[in-house]
């Protein structure tokens, strides 16, 4: 069954239309979305990212998106919310695309073209990632960019529970699982109160 696109405002839809158009043009030169997935751009990639946008509190929330690639989910979130979004993407060509796509869509984002291990961005209230790395690695990176009162939103697939089990040996966190509406095997992990196990033991 085809996933249903969430309801969005006309302004948001216009921004997403412009974003999708430029992505399709640039995708002929650099690999932003695999050719196999292009027919599912809206129903899979954009709708998948919009799920996270609906979990962002209203207002000028700061958000860091790790490994933004073609703009999922960070640029979609920027199109759909008033969040102050920073996109971290080390590939210089993809970073150039993100800047041009944001300009074309009419949204203001900061693009940080650095590796996650060395990226220098202020801590944010929300950290996001999609199809980037196993959860323990995401936590290593994400806690660098997360405010103590913030939370992470990670889109995960069928291995989510296994990754949570692996991560539990090194991290304490409050975990909320939200079933994905675009992938029957998918889940959104909302993680807060994230601490290393060693930090807890030293208290």
- Known binding residues for S-adenosyl-L-methionine are 67, 72, 116-117, 130
What is the DSSP pairing of strand 124-130 with strand 62-66? parallel
Positions at the binding site: 67, 72, 116-117, 130
Nearest to 123 by CA among 171, 84, 72: 84
Q: Which residues pair with 153 in a beta bridge?
A: 128, 190
């Amino acid at each position: 069954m085809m996933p249903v696109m969430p309801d969005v405002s006309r302004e948001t839809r216009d921004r997403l239309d412009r974003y999708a158009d430029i992505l399709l043009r640039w995708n002929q030169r650099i690999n932003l979305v695999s050719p196999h997935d292009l027919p599912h751009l809206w129903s899979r990639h954009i709708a998948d990212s919009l799920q996270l946008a609906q979990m962002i509190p209203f207002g000028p929330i700061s958000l860091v998106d790790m490994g933004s690639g073609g703009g999922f989910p960070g640029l979609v979130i920027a199109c759909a919310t008033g969040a102050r979004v920073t996109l971290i993407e080390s590939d210089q060509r993809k970073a150039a695309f993100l800047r041009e796509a944001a300009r074309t869509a009419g949204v203001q984002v900061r693009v940080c073209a650095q590796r996650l291990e060395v990226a220098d961005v202020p801590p944010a209230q929300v950290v996001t990632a999609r199809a980037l790395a196993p959860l323990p690695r995401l936590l290593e990176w994400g806690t660098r960019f997360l405010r103590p009162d913030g939370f992470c939103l990670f889109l995960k697939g069928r291995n989510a529970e296994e990754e949570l089990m692996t991560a539990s040996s090194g991290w304490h966190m409050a975990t909320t699982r939200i079933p994905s509406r675009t992938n029957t095997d998918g889940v959104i992990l909302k993680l807060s109160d994230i601490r290393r196990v060693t930090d807890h033991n030293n208290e």
